[in-house]
């Protein structure tokens, strides 16, 4: 295979062990030196993907750092750009513009694209108000509530993905059947295979580091061609931004090297599912002290930690639409043998449960193991944070932790399909009070569009089952 090695040294004299802070001043200097000539202005759509425009750096500096106009359609179509019947954006609204305004605190290099910088943006309407249904707006609202309660939040993402020896052209020619994995056997924790595929994986990790997305670790997974990437924890909004950038970046870097990456929750009936686990903790407003840890508390959790966990458990069914947003999401959750949970449960370092507590002192955190890698991380973090704050406000105590195998226990079940998740989301007065009716109805419309398309599409499964015998 001919690989397209990317240029790691976008900024000269880069020290991998002591990366420079890429801020407005260093951005201006990089532009002046000719090291950056293009800026990506990107928001995040309902699916967690980047949308926006690429502009010349000098044009951005002189005219566009206050924002650009994009179309509200970015919040009115599905993952394949099929337009839904959204009240927010339709023919009667004129498919109107929104203002996409850069958050200059998020400036970073985009080193796998030559001489390019990136800035994350927020969506505003023509009156200068945040677009309520925008995922970044939803998360920022919960962060504001946490701050008013005296808390800051930190999080870390842990996503799995599959790599295939395919191109967009080759996989379409095969009608997406039987993609050829980068490695044809399980490599869970294998160092050997990480080294064999270092030609790509090192590009991935080095480029993410250059983009100020510090990697905690990279490991082989059980699935064929499957890899897991762990990102170092950070403030919660920054973690959501990082996750959106690296999901897009991994897919881009893969195609630049004549392979493909997918974050589908379940690629095939026999494939291993790809998890999208979330680690979250509350801290004081200065971000110095972890408020979950109490060595003398029950289960070594503070009262705040227990109630936060209690809230996440109490609302896990209600927020399932954010944790598992697609038809395919539930195919992963159906295979509990692979560590995907199907119960409302928690345990102390127990991977069979939906939530587990791990770590000591400032590393103490709660891991949400429900989601697959297909999620919009802004929405997942919004649901985690909102649920936990609800638990604190209402002093919800978690039940006793579970141990070992859960199959013989009589535990509440999570929704097993998208229809059930829609119903739980729709009928939850708590979710409506947290998110507001506008947001709830908007994401219900998106989910119902997914269901409508699925039930009108004739699938390979139907042809195999019925074609000859009916």
* 360 half-sphere exposure, CB direction, 13 A CA radius: 2
Instruction: Determine the 3-state secondary structure of 359 from DSSP.
Output: coil
In the prediction, which pLDDT does 18 show? 54
Domain membership of residue 427 (yes or no) is no
CA distance 178 to 162: 13
Domain membership of residue 54 (yes or no) is yes
pTM to 2 decimal places: 0.94
* The token pair that represents 229 in the structure block: 């990437």
CA distance 421 to 415: 6
What residue ranges of the chain have pLDDT lower than 70?
A: 1-21, 338
The residue with tokens 């059980």 is: 222
Beta strand pairing call for 97-102 and 68-71? antiparallel
Domain membership of residue 204 (yes or no) is yes
Domain limits at 93? 21-131+436-470
Q: Does residue 440 share a domain with residue 314? A: no
Q: Does residue 262 share a domain with residue 165? A: yes
Domain membership of residue 285 (yes or no) is yes
Domain membership of residue 258 (yes or no) is yes
Q: Does residue 67 share a domain with residue 96? A: yes
* The token pair that represents 259 in the structure block: 């392979």
In the prediction, which pLDDT does 145 show? 98
In the prediction, which pLDDT does 336 show? 76
Boundary of a domain, candidates 362, 391, 408: 408
CB neighbourhood size of 152 (10 A): 18
Domain membership of residue 2 (yes or no) is no
CA distance 310 to 381: 16
In the prediction, which pLDDT does 325 show? 97
Q: Does residue 290 share a domain with residue 196? A: yes
Q: Does residue 304 share a domain with residue 160? A: yes
Q: Does residue 220 share a domain with residue 116? A: no
CA distance 197 to 187: 12
* The token pair that represents 376 in the structure block: 């919009």
Domain containing 283 — which CATH number?
3.30.590.10
Q: Does residue 336 share a domain with residue 211? A: yes
Q: Does residue 452 share a domain with residue 386? A: no
Based on the structure, what is the number of domains in the chain?
A: 2
In the prediction, which pLDDT does 404 show? 87
In the prediction, which pLDDT does 2 show? 37
Domain membership of residue 423 (yes or no) is no
In the prediction, which pLDDT does 19 show? 54
Q: Does residue 100 share a domain with residue 154? A: no
CA distance 72 to 59: 23
Q: Does residue 163 share a domain with residue 219? A: yes
């Amino acid at each position: 295979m001919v690989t397209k090695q990317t240029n790691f040294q976008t900024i000269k004299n880069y020290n991998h062990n002591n990366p420079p802070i890429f801020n407005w001043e260093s951005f201006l200097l990089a532009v002046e030196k000719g090291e950056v000539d293009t800026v990506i202005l990107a928001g995040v759509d309902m699916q967690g993907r980047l949308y926006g425009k690429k502009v010349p750096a000098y044009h951005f500096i002189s005219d566009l750092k206050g924002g650009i106009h994009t179309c509200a359609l970015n919040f009115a179509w599905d993952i394949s750009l099929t337009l839904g019947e959204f009240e927010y954006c339709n023919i009667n609204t004129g498919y109107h513009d929104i203002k996409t305004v850069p958050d200059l605190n998020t400036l970073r290099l985009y080193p796998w694209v030559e001489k390019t910088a990136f800035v994350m943006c927020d969506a505003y309407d023509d009156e200068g108000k945040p677009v309520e249904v925008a995922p970044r707006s939803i998360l920022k609202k919960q962060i504001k509530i946490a701050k008013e309660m005296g808390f800051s939040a930190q999080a870390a993402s842990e996503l799995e993905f599959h790599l295939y020896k395919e191109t967009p052209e080759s996989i379409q020619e095969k009608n997406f059947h039987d993609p050829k994995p980068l490695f044809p056997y399980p490599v869970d924790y294998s160092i050997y295979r990480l080294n064999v595929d270092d030609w790509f994986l090192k590009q991935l990790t080095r480029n993410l580091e250059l983009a100020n997305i510090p990697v905690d670790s990279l490991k082989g997974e059980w699935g064929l061609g499957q890899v897991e990437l762990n990102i170092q924890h950070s403030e919660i909004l920054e973690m959501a931004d990082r996750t959106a950038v690296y999901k897009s970046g991994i897919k881009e870097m893969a195609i630049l090297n004549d392979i493909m990456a997918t974050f589908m929750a379940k690629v095939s009936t026999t494939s291993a599912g790809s998890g999208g686990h979330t680690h979250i903790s509350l801290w004081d407003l200065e971000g110095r002290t972890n408020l979950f840890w109490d060595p003398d508390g029950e289960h070594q959790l503070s009262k705040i930690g227990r109630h936060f966990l209690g809230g996440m458990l109490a609302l896990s069914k209600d927020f399932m639409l954010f944790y598992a947003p697609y038809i395919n999401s539930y195919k992963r959750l159906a295979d509990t043998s692979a560590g995907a949970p199907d119960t409302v449960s928690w345990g102390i370092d127990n991977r069979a449960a939906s939530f587990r507590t791990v770590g000591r002192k400032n590393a103490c955190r709660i891991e949400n193991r429900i989601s697959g890698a297909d999620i919009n991380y802004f929405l997942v973090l919004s649901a985690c944070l909102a649920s936990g704050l609800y638990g604190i406000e209402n002093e919800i105590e978690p039940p006793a932790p579970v141990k070992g195998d859960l199959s013989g226990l009589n535990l509440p079940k999570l929704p097993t399909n998208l229809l059930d998740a829609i119903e739980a989301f729709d009928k939850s007065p708590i979710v409506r009070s947290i998110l507001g009716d506008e947001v709830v109805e908007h994401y219900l419309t998106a989910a119902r569009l997914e269901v409508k398309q699925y039930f009108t599409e004739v699938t390979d499964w139907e042809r195999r089952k019925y074609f000859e015998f009916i």
